[in-house]
Amino acid sequence: MRTTVRRHLGKVVAGTAIAVAATAVMVGITLPGTAGADDTGGGKDGQSTRQAAGQQRGDTAAVQPGVVEQAPAEGTKGEGRDPLTDDEITRVEKIALSRQQFNASEDVDGDRGPQRLGVDLAEPAADEVDDPEAPRRAVVSFYDYKDDALVTKTVNLDTGKVEGTGTQHGVQPPLSAAEQTEAASLLIADPLGAGLKADFKDATGKQLTSPDQLQLASMIYRAVPGAEPAVLDKCGEHRCVRLLPKVRNGPWIDARSLVIDLSTRKVARLTG
């Protein structure tokens, strides 16, 4: 049984086309005062060379050690096109998510409140591009697993008000770290994760029991007619992912044939 699973899932990918060949080049360096050391003797030329070397040693000794200055403290509010500060991010997340929306939505774990995806500085309006006094705005993105919807809120950082709300279905931005971790947990717990766990044990000699043992990357998966079992037909409308797991400080493991539907919390193997 294990042999069958691993034939589908693939052996540990040692390097996975990421090994890079490197060539070391030895470079000979002639230090001041050493060239022709055997033939300078105590003559005038030799004395000049020694004086030059001594001068260089004196100059080197006079160089003071560098001082690393601390980065300036981050303010609570940025200006113009400055990146959002931590305080601004925290503030706009609270403004964007009303109590009603929090109670009516779910995150990737099924808990109340939508899944936070990110906060970005909004582009200025067309008539504000050259206006130095244009207000700063932030766009907050959430994914509501209850309705399978991407929700975005545009918040004016100057007034503290929500100026725009967007709700889209079938739009699947990259996964957050929390979503990747949950996808890995579902895969490890599923019978189809047996090959992943077997490859991990081959690579480390240890049992794979937690996503914390892996480094994770991911790709959004959309349904392709005829290329998957029926259970994945709604991928794209649902939030589906293929994981690219890597043993921490070790090799990659090929799990691309497996798809995790985070909306239904099911795992399936591609057939096409």
Write out pLDDT tens, residues 247-258. 999 999 999 999
Q: Is the CB of residue 231 less than 8 Å from the CB of residue 217?
A: no
Q: Taking the C-alpha atoms of 226, 232, 238 and 240 in order, what is their torsion angle to the nearest 10 degrees?
A: -100
| Mean predicted confidence (pLDDT) in 178-199 | 98
Q: Does the pLDDT value for residue 67 go beyond 70?
A: no
CB atoms within 10 A of CB 227: 10
| Mean predicted confidence (pLDDT) in 252-269 | 97
Which SS3 state, helix, strand or coil, does residue 11 take? Answer: coil
pLDDT number for residue 134: 84
% of the chain exceeding 70 in pLDDT: 71
pLDDT number for residue 125: 83
**Cα–Cα distance list, 148 to 41, 190, 196, 240, 258 (Å):** 86, 23, 28, 11, 21
Please report which confidence band the pLDDT of residue 16 belongs to, taking 50, 70 and 90 as the band edges: very low
pLDDT number for residue 161: 94
Tell me: the pLDDT tens digits for 93-107? Answer: 999 999 999 999 999
Each residue of 188-225: b (16+ CB within 10 Å) or e? bebebbbbbbbbbeebbeeebeebebbebebeebebee
pLDDT number for residue 37: 42
User: Phi and psi (nearest 5°) for 5?
Assistant: -60, -45
d(CA 132, CA 128): 8
Per DSSP, the residues of 79-138 read -TTPPPPHHHHHHHHHHHS-HHHHHH-B-TTS-BSPEEEEEEEPPPPGGGTT-TTPPPEE
Q: Say what the pTM is.
A: 0.70
Q: What amino acid is encoded at 137 in this protein?
A: R
- Mean pLDDT, all residues of the chain: 80
Q: What amino acid is encoded at 270 in this protein?
A: L
CB atoms within 10 A of CB 4: 10
The H or E element containing residue 244 is: strand 240-247
Please report which confidence band the pLDDT of residue 38 belongs to, taking 50, 70 and 90 as the band edges: very low
pLDDT number for residue 135: 87
Which SS3 state, helix, strand or coil, does residue 260 take? Answer: strand
Q: Does the pLDDT value for residue 27 go beyond 80?
A: no
d(CA 127, CA 7): 59
pLDDT number for residue 7: 41
Please report which confidence band the pLDDT of residue 22 belongs to, taking 50, 70 and 90 as the band edges: very low
Each residue of 160-174: b (16+ CB within 10 Å) or e? eebeeeeeeeeebee
Q: Which stretch of 39-43, 81-85, 159-163, 179-183 has the lowest confidence by average pLDDT?
A: 39-43
Rounded to a whole number of angstroms, the distance between the first and last alpha carbons of the chain is: 21
Q: What amino acid is encoded at 51 in this protein?
A: Q
pLDDT number for residue 77: 74
pLDDT number for residue 147: 96
